[in-house]
Amino acid sequence: MNAASTPSIPHTAASAYAEAFVPESADAAAARAAAQSLGIGAVSPGTSTLLTFLARSLDARTVVEVGTGAGVASLALLLGMAEGTLTSIDTEPEHQATARRILVEAGIPSRRARLIAGPALQVLPKLSDGAYDLVFVDADPLEAVEYVEEALRLLRSGGLLVIYHALSGGRVADTGNEDDDTVIMREALAAVADAEDLSPVLLPVGDGVLVARRA
């Protein structure tokens, strides 16, 4: 999703306070500026904090990210990973080159981020079953249902699926909205809610973050 199609995030004083509760590092600010220069979206500051928290709480060592962008979320995930490798997929080599630069400048060794250029639905099937602690999704909203299916296969027992733009600027909750990406995000959320082996929670952080634990 590029900046032009990024849905606006509803802001209240309380949500702005929560988003800024943990201040961003200079490295994260540099990543955010790089995303802006490329004209692509990035997770909100509160979402970055949440990603770091989840990765750290889980002691995550194997993480898949769908949609590298300029590396804002990659940086947040790696900050929460004491060890191990982030595997991040993006169709755009230019975005990944920027993310690589951001990570190197933040002092993260190259071996800790495996950046794979290609369409997610071609790359994800090549990753190993049950081998990942966390799968984070922020790529093509029209493929959200397929990302859920792939994540279910990739996650180990106790692993987490995390989906950004889960509220899509409030449009997901607006039952009268039938935009393709909104309808598909609703379908993805329903698939997660209906999956017997997933325990979900939908958080109003950033543009909405769905977190689901695999049994």
Ligand X SMILES: C[S@@+](CC[C@H](N)C(=O)[O-])C[C@H]1O[C@@H](n2cnc3c(N)ncnc32)[C@H](O)[C@@H]1O
- Give contact residues for ligand X (rule: CB under 6 A): 1, 35, 40-43, 67-73, 89-92, 95, 119-120, 138-140, 143
What's the CA gap between 122 and 200, in Å, rounded?
A: 26
C-beta of 133 vs 143, nearer to ligand X: 143
C-beta of 94 vs 197, nearer to ligand X: 94
CB of residue 32 to ligand X, shortest distance in Å: 8
CB of residue 212 to ligand X, shortest distance in Å: 18
CB of residue 18 to ligand X, shortest distance in Å: 18
What's the CA gap between 50 and 207, in Å, rounded?
A: 13
CB of residue 179 to ligand X, shortest distance in Å: 17
What's the CA gap between 5 and 206, in Å, rounded?
A: 16
What's the CA gap between 47 and 102, in Å, rounded?
A: 18
C-beta of 167 vs 196, nearer to ligand X: 167
Residue of this chain nearest to ligand X (CB atom): 69
Q: How far apart are the first and last CA of the chain?
A: 30
CA neighbours closer than 13 Å in the CB half-sphere of residue 182: 15
